[in-house]
Each structure stands twice: as structure tokens, then as C-alpha cells.
Amino acid sequence: MTLDQIRYFLEVCNTLHYTKAAHNLNISQPSLSYAIKQLEEELEVPLFRKEKKTVYITDYGKMFQPYCQRALDSLQQGEFYIREMVNPNLGNINLGYVYSTGSQLVPNLIEAYHDYKGDNKVTFILKMANSPSILDSIKDELLDFGILPLLNNNIDGIGTMPVHRQELYLIASKQHRLANNKFVEIEDLADEKIVALDKESDLYERTKMLFREKDLVPNFYYDVDELNSMAAFVSANMGIGITPNTPVLKSYDLVVIPFENHSIKRNVYMIWNSKISHTPVVLDFLEFARSHINH
């Protein structure tokens, strides 16, 4: 049984007329009749019967028709997806990002890409998560790219490219003793209760590192799972936090204070799985990102 036989069979089912079916298929009527006869011989049942000039589908043909249609539809869908995969102007890009990059960095990068490509049909499927989750999804081939901060960008099997330097700030309630400071230093926080993101987060490890560099030990008093919770605890004067300045902070009764000389920043990277082959649309976006960031 061949794909052409299936196509020919379905066309005769649709037209119930061999001459019309042959015309629609752009083949000769004898070729069509021969192909249908071969298919019937292979199945050992008649698929059509003729009465004078009228063609009827047999019960065997009626039973066989939906299976052929599903098979043809499935093959056509597969062909569509293959063509989509090899076209750099078509397809999906799965991109994970941490919350602090979602208000400007990620939207701006995607907007710049669409402006660069013009009228293209690339769809971005976005997932917000913490850094470990994004990294795992990249390794498991669930995401094409991740945008996240990294303390160490030397990771086996992971390609990395710096895309942003993100400044970190102190957040404190308006009643806090440091609330009126124009700048602060890590030493000012030696005895403070710290509201931190969970221990798997980049901010948790980075805060430990900042204190360790000053021979201090941070007093992690509350661990929370996302930035809204941190801001809520801080605004209630239950501790201080160290975080990027994101739009969500404006919703809380707190102050955002830079560190002395705006000295505390972290590198944000775009990452991808360097051990696998990528579709043309994914590679196209990567090349654009390289060029866009360099400029």
C-alpha cells in the first residue's frame, strides 16, 4: 500500500467519479483505475462498485475511508512541522526567565527580535521560574533558552552569554533605621534580620557571598519563595532584603536604597543546551541575541 494509493482512494471517495478524481489528481483515468484495482487486490475486498455510470463506496470502502483520512492528515501535519522546523522564520522558541528579568530585559529582547525579523511567524513560549528550575529544563531539553543570573557560568553542556548587568539594592520598610540613607554598605547590615528568597535562588547564594567578602555572616531570618513575599515581609518591618529594583516593589510601603557607588551588581546570562542540535529558528534567535547584545 502506497501513499499515492491512499490519496487516490480518498479522492474517488470524495468525487464518486473516476474521471473527475483523475483530473483533480492530475493523472490519467487508467492510472487511477489501475491503482485502485491494486489496492483492492492487496486488501482482498472491493472498495467501490459501479452501476452503469454511477460509482458507489462499498461497506468495506466506508470502513476504510476514515482510517485513510486520518493517516493522510497525520502525514500532512508531520510534513508541516518538518517544514516549520527547517524554516528560521517559523516555529516556537521556548524561553525561561527569572522574575526580575521579566519586566524589561526579556520583553525588550523579544520586541527587538520581532522588529528585526519583520513579518515573521515565530512564537515565544515563556516560562517564569527560579534559576535551578530553568537550568534543569535546559538540560532536559524542555526549554531552548534561559535568561537568569549565574554565580558560575562554567557549566558542562551549557552555553552561556552575558546579556545584562543587574544592580542589586537594599529594600527596607519606611520605619527602618536605614530608611533615610542615600546609600548603604554591606557592613551596615551586619546585625539585620534578612528576608531572603529560598536557598536554591541566586539571590540567597549571592547574599552569602557579599557578606562573606566582608567577613560577616548574614542573619537569614525568613526564607520566602518569591519577590512579592519578600516585599511584604520587608514592608511590615520584619527584616531587610537584597534584590533588584523591580516594578513589584512599588506596590509596597518600603524604600529602595542603592549600595555605595552602585557597586553591587550581578551578571545575567542567556543560556542554552550546547550538547544538542537546535532548529534553525532557535539558532537564528541566538545569532540575533549575540549581535543585539554586542551593540
**pLDDT value of position 172:** 97
Architecture per CATH, domain 166-266, reads as 3-Layer(aba) Sandwich (3.40)
Q: Which residues are CB-neighbours of 119 under 8 A, at least 6 positions away?
A: none
Report the alpha-carbon distance of residue 129 to residue 127 in Å, rounded: 6
**pLDDT value of position 80:** 81
The 3-state DSSP class for residue 135 equals helix
Fold of 3-85: Arc Repressor Mutant, subunit A (1.10.10)
Helix axes 280-294, 105-117, angle to 10 degrees: 110
C-alpha grid cell, residue 263: 557597586
**pLDDT value of position 228:** 92
The CA distances from residue 72 to 58, 60, 68, 69, in Å, are 20, 18, 6, 5
Report the alpha-carbon distance of residue 282 to residue 276 in Å, rounded: 12
Residue 80 half-sphere exposure toward CB, CA atoms < 13 A: 6
**pLDDT value of position 198:** 85
The 3-state DSSP class for residue 91 equals strand
**pTM for the whole thing?**
0.72
Fold of 90-163+268-294: D-Maltodextrin-Binding Protein; domain 2 (3.40.190)
Amino acid at 228: N
Domain boundaries, the chain: 3-85, 90-163+268-294, 166-266
**pLDDT value of position 13:** 95
In tens digits, the chain (295 residues) has pLDDT values of 899 999 999 999 999 999 999 999 999 999 999 999 999 999 999 999 999 889 999 999 999 999 999 999 999 888 887 877 777 777 889 999 999 999 899 999 999 999 998 867 889 999 999 899 999 999 999 999 999 999 889 999 999 999 999 999 999 999 999 999 999 999 999 999 999 988 888 899 999 999 999 999 999 999 998 899 999 999 999 999 999 999 999 999 999 999 999 989 999 999 999 999 898 899 999 999 999 887 6
**pLDDT value of position 295:** 67
**Could you check whether 3-85 and 90-163+268-294 share the same CATH topology?**
no
C-alpha grid cell, residue 245: 529594583
